[in-house]
């Protein structure tokens, strides 16, 4: 028989907070007395097509609830995505089309399935359009719940209001809609990042107003991106997508600061085994291998590590690189060639050359002479930065 106290302690071990204090243990004990599974909610708005490791933190927590025998309810926010979550935002989110939302929703659901157990008794996937497409009288009843002063207390709204930056009425509605999700699926527990604290706690207010038992709220720390400073986000370009190739997952993981390795391992539930704590480089390599094996397939971590070492430690060139046809001119302007071969701007290309970030057959490109004889580039390997290569070929 499960022990609610022990289960609560295990589930909360790497959480930022559980509200109210003792609430998770109380919900676990109630479910045990009633002989039922907890219903544990996570809502994800499909505002982008791919899931990254930041999403994995909360999805992994759902998986832990499943492993203890509880049912998780993954809500794909096809309706809330139309509004746009204002959490942590300094401006209103851009509006997505219905087609974009539907495409992203299908991708989210498929990728989340790589982490969650696909058992109908342990997983329920819903779209909140099922209940948020409601009659006006039902919406007006809900709209009486929040007070404007209460909404303006949240930090992101307060900053925007003080800075005279616009806040749309729809953004005020967002936490109300997310809270009603908890009513509709009768959530016992809701999971989210620390940036979701206001929305999750507001869900308790909506449940109470609707006569539904209030959920416990578990917030998880935000995973810092590979830049080592800001939360992982596709808009910041510091993410690692779980659908990326193993070489990309390994290489981008190796870019995180050493001091983040153990935090990543804890939040992503990665066991670094017996790798010594005093060897941060080896611990990071173990983390990168484990992430590759988990999301790209068993054995992919070792292969990605070998490719990484060949490329960076041993100064080698990837076994397979794309080809780019040389123009027919006898003299080529290197920034223009880089722009065509790698899809960068000419100014970015010049900057990379000036910083020593461009190599031709392993030799740093001459920053003082940007015009190169075409014959010197035939069958050459052109390298931009550390990880981008093309082989220059003569058009047939």
The residue with greater pLDDT, 315 or 22, is: 22
d(CA 306, CA 303): 5
Helices 300-308, 280-296: crossing angle, 10 deg rounding: 130
Cβ-contact 385, 357 below 8 angstroms: yes
13-22, 44-53, 66-75, 239-248: the lowest-pLDDT one: 44-53
Three-state SS at 289? helix
d(CA 243, CA 323): 24
Query: Domain extents for the chain?
Result: 4-220, 244-313, 322-393
Cβ-contact 138, 145 below 8 angstroms: no
Q: Regarding the domain with residue range 322-393, which homologous superfamily does it belong to in the CATH classification? A: RNA-binding S4 domain (3.10.290.10)
Residue 315 binned pLDDT confidence (cut-offs 50, 70, 90): low
**232 Cβ partners below 8 Å, 6+ apart?**
52, 53, 54, 222, 223, 224, 225, 226, 238, 239, 240
**HSE, side-chain direction, 13 A CA sphere, residue 94:** 7
CB atoms within 10 A of CB 226: 21
Q: 351: exposed, middle or buried (C-beta count within 10 Å: 0-12, 13-18, 19+)?
A: middle
**Residue 308: is its pLDDT beyond 70?**
yes
The residue with greater pLDDT, 122 or 365, is: 122
End-to-end CA distance of the chain: 72
Three-state SS at 336? helix
pLDDT at 89: 46
Q: Summarize the confidence of residues 119-132 as an average pLDDT.
A: 93
- Which residue bears the tokens 């991708």? 107
Q: Regarding the domain with residue range 4-220, which homologous superfamily does it belong to in the CATH classification? A: HUPs (3.40.50.620)
**Residue 43: is its pLDDT beyond 60?**
yes
pLDDT at 84: 61
Three-state SS at 94? coil
Q: Summarize the confidence of residues 202-219 as an average pLDDT.
A: 95
Say what percent of the chain tops pLDDT 70.
Answer: 95
pLDDT at 396: 60
Please, what's the b/e burial string for 150-162 (b: 16 or more CB within 10 A of its CB; e: otherwise)? ebeebebbeebee
Residue 41 binned pLDDT confidence (cut-offs 50, 70, 90): very high
Cβ-contact 31, 37 below 8 angstroms: yes
pLDDT at 33: 95
d(CA 167, CA 262): 38
pLDDT digits (tens, 9 = 90+) for 80-114: 887 765 554 444 456 677 888 888 888 888 888 88
Cβ-contact 391, 323 below 8 angstroms: yes
pLDDT at 364: 85
d(CA 373, CA 379): 13
């Amino acid at each position: 028989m499960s022990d609610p106290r022990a289960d609560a302690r295990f589930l909360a071990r790497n959480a930022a907070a559980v509200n109210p204090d003792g609430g998770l243990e109380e919900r676990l004990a109630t479910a045990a007395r009633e002989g039922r599974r907890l219903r544990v909610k996570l809502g994800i708005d499909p505002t982008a097509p791919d899931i990254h490791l930041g999403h994995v933190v909360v999805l992994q927590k759902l998986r832990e609830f499943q492993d203890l025998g509880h049912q998780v309810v993954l809500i794909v926010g096809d309706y809330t995505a139309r509004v746009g979550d204002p959490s942590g935002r300094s401006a209103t989110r851009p509006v997505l089309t219905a087609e974009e939302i539907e495409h992203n929703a299908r991708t989210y659901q498929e990728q989340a399935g790589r982490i969650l157990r696909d058992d109908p008794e342990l997983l329920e996937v819903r779209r909140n359009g099922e209940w948020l497409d409601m009659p006006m009288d039902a919406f007006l009843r809900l709209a009486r719940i929040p007070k404007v002063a209460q909404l303006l207390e949240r930090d992101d709204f307060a900053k925007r209001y003080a800075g005279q930056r616009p806040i749309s009425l729809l953004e005020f509605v967002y936490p109300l809609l997310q809270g009603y999700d908890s009513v509709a699926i009768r959530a016992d527990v809701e999971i989210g990042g620390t940036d979701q604290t206001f929305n999750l706690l507001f869900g308790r207010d909506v449940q109470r107003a609707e006569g539904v038992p209030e959920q416990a709220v578990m917030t998880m720390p935000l995973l810092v991106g590979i830049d080592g400073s800001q939360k992982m986000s596709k808009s910041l370009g510091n993410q690692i997508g779980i659908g990326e190739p193993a070489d990309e997952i390994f290489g981008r993981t190796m870019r995180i600061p050493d001091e983040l390795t153990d935090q990543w391992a804890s939040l992503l539930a990665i066991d670094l085994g017996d790798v010594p704590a005093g060897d941060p480089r080896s611990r990071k390599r173990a983390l990168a291998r484990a992430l590759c094996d988990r999301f790209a397939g068993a054995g992919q971590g070792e292969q990605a590590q070998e490719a990484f070492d060949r490329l960076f430690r041993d100064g080698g060139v990837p076994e397979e690189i794309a080809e780019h046809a040389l123009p027919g001119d006898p003299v080529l302007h290197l920034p223009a060639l880089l722009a065509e071969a790698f899809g960068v701007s000419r100014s970015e290309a010049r900057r990379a050359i000036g910083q020593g970030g461009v190599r031709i057959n392993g030799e740093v490109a001459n920053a003082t002479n940007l015009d190169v004889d075409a014959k010197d580039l035939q069958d050459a390997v052109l390298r931009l930065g550390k990880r981008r290569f093309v082989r220059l070929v003569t058009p047939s």
